[in-house]
Amino acid sequence: MDYYSKQIHQLIEELARLPGIGAKSAQRLAFHILAQPPESVHQLAKALVDARDHVRYCRECFTLTDQEVCPICANTARDHKTIMVVETTRDLAAYEKTGKYEGVYHVLHGAISPMLGIGPDDIKLKELMIRLQGDVEEVIIATNSSLEGETTAMYLSRLIKPTQIRCSRIASGVPVGGDLEYTDEVTLLRALEGRVEI
């Protein structure tokens, strides 16, 4: 039995398609939207349509932007000789929030996953190799510590090694505030191998 009219039901269904939004969250969002003044709803709809119509890949690093070149790549104060390779634009944003990294990025838009049918040609690896023909001194591989991220990191390091460009991998290990007794063996081993002098 339908409790809502066709349009309310359709709105809830569309919102429920968003990642991380279940049926109850979609219902809450739908009723929140319906309670807003019409101009607020039109602004939201316009922002969605404008973003979909105008956001594209940066010509250099392949992050999402509404310009031909993203603000990071366009910034001449950044170190363009150091490239951090990340899986997604969200990963780039996470590093930018630290305020400590001064190089540029390359967004792969995924990771190699033979089980999911994602190979090297399905992510932005060729584009990275083209960038490495320029004046690059270091590539920092900052893929996730998942099986796919590790596979991608190994594949990348093998591609980069013949270029004589310095290639490094971000350290990973015990999270701040984590208890050692609850940390898995692989994470503990990575933390041990990535130790630094204090």
pLDDT in tens, 181-194: 777 777 777 777 77
What stretches of the chain adopt beta strand conformation (E)? Answer: 56-57, 64-65, 79-86, 103-107, 138-141, 166-169
| Cα separation, 27 vs 4, whole angstroms | 10
Candidate CATH numbers 3.20.80.10, 3.40.1360.10, 3.30.365.10, 3.30.70.580; the one for domain 78-140+155-166: 3.40.1360.10
95-122 per-position pLDDT tens digit: 999 888 999 999 999 999 988 899 999 9
8 Å CB contact between 108 and 86: yes
User: The tokens 């190994």 sit on which residue?
Assistant: 154
Mean pLDDT score, 123-130? 94
